[in-house]
Amino acid sequence: MAKKQKHQTSTLPWQGKGWRPEYKGLLPFEWVVLAYILFTSAIVLFTSTKMANPEAMIWGRIRVGAMTIALWIVYRMLPCKLTMFMRVAAQMALLAWWYPDTFELNRLFPNLDHVLATWEQQIFGFQPALIFARTFSSPIISELMDCGYVSYFPMIATIILFYFFRRYDEFQRTVFVILASFFTYYVIFDLVPVVGPTFYYKAIGLHNAAQGVFPNVHNYFNLHQDCLPSPGYVQGFFYDLVEDAKAAGERPTAAFPSSHVGVATICMLFACQAKNRTLLLSLLPFYVFLCMATVYIQAHYAIDVVAGFITGVAFYFIFKWLYPHR
């Protein structure tokens, strides 16, 4: 009786130890990107007469789609962990490009900050974004807060690199959950125009915010994009990093819910899932300071932080469940 031969796949030296064939088509997280491109392109096309640069927005999306397909072709020609990582790194890098794009879409709708600020006042009896930095104004606290805030993308990179090098079997699912969460937040930001205290307080005046007066500014931010300087120790190293980041790409958009808190919460859940004590404990202080910093530097209302935490936990479990297993 002839023995049944096992199917073997050849492994080339540059494919790395433990390599095995993966998706031949687009990866789940790439389908998420393409779905977001189609969704936002439809908005741009149907509202083009109200857009400042609809042609540039459409061409930008075409380029992202073309890049996604091109990286897939490169991977098919040279399948290995390096080209797989290139596909991930490209989409992660583009998150900073997509962020200000949400402003171009949500400026179509009337601003809702007066609603959030009123809820904040009703719940706390004051504005935490005003009181927090005034109460804890020491240089040490200020630098810790700013350090936590700028650790956002390093935290994400740490989780992705950890799973790439230490838990490669779970790498693609981890990337899918993080990117799907990001783009779900971006959909919310596209449709729910909330700019946060740093822009809204600047628009209405700090005296009104302190007195609990929150007028509806309607479409004010279509023409005005000035924000308050961050409170805290202005000579601090991390303070400068926060201000530089704001100067480079901050727009009056994306405040509710806080994606900083949401995605950072997802990263912490992945750190717990990894059951790596060093990873978890090394990220935990940055996570705590980041959550507090979002209110401290007046980027978010306290309500945004709560909503960010709740949605972060929800997205972690929902997108893990939705991930298509082969």
Among 59, 93, 127, identify where a domain stops: 93
Q: Flag whether 136 is in a domain.
A: yes
* 249 and 318 both lie in a single domain: yes
Q: Flag whether 2 is in a domain.
A: no
Q: In angstroms, rounded to a whole number, what is the distance separating the alpha carbons of residues 83 and 87? A: 6
* 72 and 196 both lie in a single domain: no
In this prediction the pTM is 0.92
* 132 and 247 both lie in a single domain: yes
Q: Flag whether 192 is in a domain.
A: yes
* 150 and 266 both lie in a single domain: yes
Q: In angstroms, rounded to a whole number, what is the distance separating the alpha carbons of residues 266 and 91? A: 18
Joined together, the tokens standing for residue 79 give 């399948």
Q: Flag whether 5 is in a domain.
A: no
Question: According to the model, what pLDDT value does residue 250 have?
Answer: 84
Secondary structure, 3-state, 107-154: CCCCCCHHHHHHHHHHHHCCCHHHHHHHHCCCHHHHHHHHHHHHCHHH
If phi > 0 it is left, if psi is from -120 to 50 it is alpha, else beta; for residue 191 that is alpha
* 227 and 310 both lie in a single domain: yes
Q: Flag whether 42 is in a domain.
A: yes
* 117 and 29 both lie in a single domain: no
Instruction: Give the torsion through C-alpha atoms of 103, 105, 108, 109, to 10 deg.
Output: -70
Q: In angstroms, rounded to a whole number, what is the distance separating the alpha carbons of residues 149 and 141? A: 12
* 82 and 221 both lie in a single domain: no
Please check whether residue 301 is in contact with residue 117, taking contact to mean a CB–CB distance below 8 angstroms: yes
In terms of DSSP H, where are the helices of 223-258? 237-249
* 294 and 157 both lie in a single domain: yes
Question: According to the model, what pLDDT value does residue 249 have?
Answer: 76
First to last CA, the chain: 33
Q: Flag whether 277 is in a domain.
A: yes
Q: In angstroms, rounded to a whole number, what is the distance separating the alpha carbons of residues 97 and 54? A: 16
Closest C-alpha among 325, 322, 324, 309 to residue 268 = 309
Question: According to the model, what pLDDT value does residue 4 have?
Answer: 45
Joined together, the tokens standing for residue 325 give 């297993």
Q: Is 20 exposed, middle or buried (0-12, 13-18, 19+ CB in 10 A)?
A: exposed
* 146 and 53 both lie in a single domain: no
Number of domains the chain is built from: 2
Q: Flag whether 269 is in a domain.
A: yes
Considering only CA atoms, give the Rg of the chain. 22
3-class DSSP assignment, residue 184:
helix
Angle (CA) 210 211 212, round 5°: 95
* 83 and 117 both lie in a single domain: no
Question: According to the model, what pLDDT value does residue 17 have?
Answer: 57
Q: How many residues does the chain have?
A: 326
- Element spanning 321, H or E: helix 302-322
Q: Flag whether 104 is in a domain.
A: no
**88: domain range?**
15-93
Q: What is the pLDDT along the chain (326 residues), one digit of tens a residue?
A: 444 444 444 455 555 555 565 668 999 999 999 999 999 999 999 999 988 889 999 999 999 999 999 999 999 999 999 999 999 999 999 999 999 999 999 999 999 999 999 999 999 999 999 999 999 989 999 999 999 999 999 999 999 999 999 999 999 999 999 999 999 999 999 999 999 999 999 999 999 999 999 999 999 999 899 999 999 999 999 999 999 988 887 889 999 999 999 999 999 999 999 999 999 999 999 999 999 999 999 999 999 999 999 999 999 999 999 998 76
* 40 and 116 both lie in a single domain: no
